[in-house]
Structure 1
Amino acid sequence: MAGVTGRVALVTGAGSAGGIGFAIARALAQAGARVAVTATTGRVHDRAATLGCLGHVADLTDPAQVMVLFASVEAALGPVEILVNNAGMVQTGRDVDRARLAGWSDEAWAHHMALNINTTFHCCRAALPAMVSGGHGRIVNISSVTGPVVTIDGSSAYATAKAGITGMTRSIALEYGGQGVTCNAILPGWIATESSSEDEIAAGRRTPAGRPGTPDEIAACALFLASDEASYVTGAMLVVDGGNTLQEMKSP
């Protein structure tokens, strides 16, 4: 994708070597983007060293830390032109329980919203002024099929937040489309990462594709949506799930 060459790209949630965020950052770097990566722990510096890019530790649930992150990236590389919001789902050092809707405490519900939608909001809000000023921007939000398309018992908070990301994606696409900014969402299904459970891997084998997806397959989609070549694609929800949501009856 020649359309990312020289562009400043920020990928959040890129601390895991086997995760989606790192795979996206690697794809962007290999395509010639000037990449910065962030995560909540210092391991992100190992990922940055591997790619030869900028690493920054930040808790994206905190708006103040988000502003410091964007200022640091701009000082080192220039204004962010490509933003990939991958942070969410889990946070290193904190376990998240499952519950049906009536079972969520206010604290647990707020934690899911902070982690899975507020992080995306904070980063979009921070990125958009410079994108508008520069007349160019690509925002790629990593959502999930869980929430917008399907759901899982016990995951109502996560599903609600991920569905909210798709609403935010459409709103940004509408509000900023005339100013050179596109905003799209990728909705992964069962993807084999370092944090995948045995049950999740087994579920991936029951897709029409017969296997879970890979982080690199999500990265390929993100690379396209981040490129100049995708300039007429905005407000889209790209499901990447091996056809899993197509099948009404799944094998046991």
Structure 2
Amino acid sequence: MTDLASRTIFITGSGGVLGSTYVRQMLSAGARVIASDLPGARAEALQDAHAGNDRFRFYELDVSDEAQVSEIFGHILADGWQPNVVVNNAAITGELLMGAGKPFPDFADISVTDWERTMRTNLTAPFMIARQMDRDIVGRWPCTLINVASMYALNGAHHRIYDGMPFKNFAAYGVSKAGIHGLTVWLAGYWAHRGATVNTIAPGAVFNNHSEEFQRRVGELIMLNRMASPDEIAGVMLFLCSPQAGYMTGQMVNVDGGFSAW
């Protein structure tokens, strides 16, 4: 198991399938974990799961709110925690944006409002988190930023696998995830002389109660012929958070079962 005893990790969007798995595995590896998410059922479940763990801390945070982002590290530092790893994990997917039971639009019907809301959360928010790191953390002690992209960041979506499904691949999601790696490589050079590294993790298709038919269609595009479990993605995330990844910066690590290697 990766040893994260020397790490204090701040992670946005901690209440989702991957986020909650990251938190659980980070705590198991010995890290101090500062979790954040929007208020609601996911945040409450996360806090309940780790109640009483003195290496766990939770803050409500809307990453799309500039005022909240500008204050978050001040709150964390005032409480005596010094994050040396930050994970930009919060994101809006197409399914989340449209909401349960709401019809998923064709590309021609996507509103500018929905496009801009996705970009605000998936790309502008990571920029704001990184900018606040620059103001409050970078240069004060060695630190690491990990941006979370997607298998669709630098690869085109296979639109046919969504035929007849209740959801489709959302253009703004893939575009925003491509942009986040641009942020990674820019920051990697900008922060290199200040003791900070920046990398991107690009998870593949993660199983989250998908239908057997959708699993079959996706599996045909993947060398390993199946979707990933959240724990398989989290294992690589833990390595990127660890001191063992100290000589890596400006890199994208694909954890996609071979999807991007075809």
- Into which bin does the TM-score normalised by the smaller protein fall? 0.7 to 0.9
Corresponding residue for 1:168? 183
- Per the alignment, residue 152 of structure 2 pairs with 146
Task: Choose which of 139, 153, 173 in structure 2 pairs with 1:133.
Answer: 139
Measure the CA separation in 2 of the matches of 1:193 and 1:20.
Answer: 10
The AA in structure 1 aligned to 2:15 is G
For residues 65 and 152 of structure 1, do their structure 2 counterparts lie closer, same or farther at Cα, with a shift above 3 Å needed? Answer: farther
RMSD, aligned CA: 2.3
Counterpart AA for 2:39: T
- Which AA in structure 1 matches 2:10? L
1:148 Cα offset (Å): 1.5
Candidates 86, 89, 93, aligned match of 1:90: 93
The count of corresponding residues between Structure 1 and Structure 2 is: 242
Percent of matched pairs sharing the same residue: 29
**Residues 189 and 241 in structure 1, CA contact (< 8 A), matched pair in contact too:** yes
2:11 is matched with which residue? 11
Which amino acid letter does the alignment assign opposite residue 155 of structure 1? F
For 2:124, the equivalent position in structure 1 comes to: 118
Deviation at 1:201, TM superposition (A): 2.8
TM-score (norm 2): 0.83
3-state DSSP of counterpart to 1:239: strand
| Aligned counterpart, 2:113 | 107
Which runs of structure 2 are paired with 1:17-36 in the superposition (5 Å)?
Answer: 19-36=17-34
Residue of structure 2 in register with 1:57 after alignment = 60
* Cα deviation code 1:165-220 (max 9, x no counterpart): 010011111111121111111111111135x5666533443222121101111111
Between the aligned partners of 1:26 and 1:87, the Cα distance in structure 2 is 16
> Contact conserved, 2:203 with 2:256, CA < 8 A, in 1?
yes
Structure 1 unaligned spans of 5+: 248-252
Cα offset for 1:90? 3.3
CA distance in 2, matches of 1:202, 1:44: 32
Q: 1:65 corresponds to which letter in structure 2? A: Q
Distance 1:76 1:146, change over 3 A: same
TM-score by length of 1: 0.86
Distance 1:165 1:99, change over 3 A: farther
Given candidates 181, 194, 212, the residue that maps to 2:227 is 212
| Structure-2 change in CA distance of 1:189 and 1:98 (3 Å) | farther
- SS of equivalent to 2:137: helix
Distance in 2 (alpha carbons) for counterparts of 1:203 and 1:145: 15
Alignment partners' CA distance in 2, 1:61 and 1:92? 18
User: Residue 237 of structure 2 aligns to which amino acid in structure 1?
Assistant: A
- Find the counterpart in structure 1 of residue 244 from structure 2: 229
Question: 1:155: Cα distance to partner?
Answer: 2.6
Whole-angstrom distance in 2 between the partners of 1:176 and 1:22: 29
Unaligned runs of 5+ in 2: 160-168
Do the aligned partners of residues 69 and 45 (structure 1) sit closer, same or farther apart at CA in structure 2, a change above 3 Å counting? farther
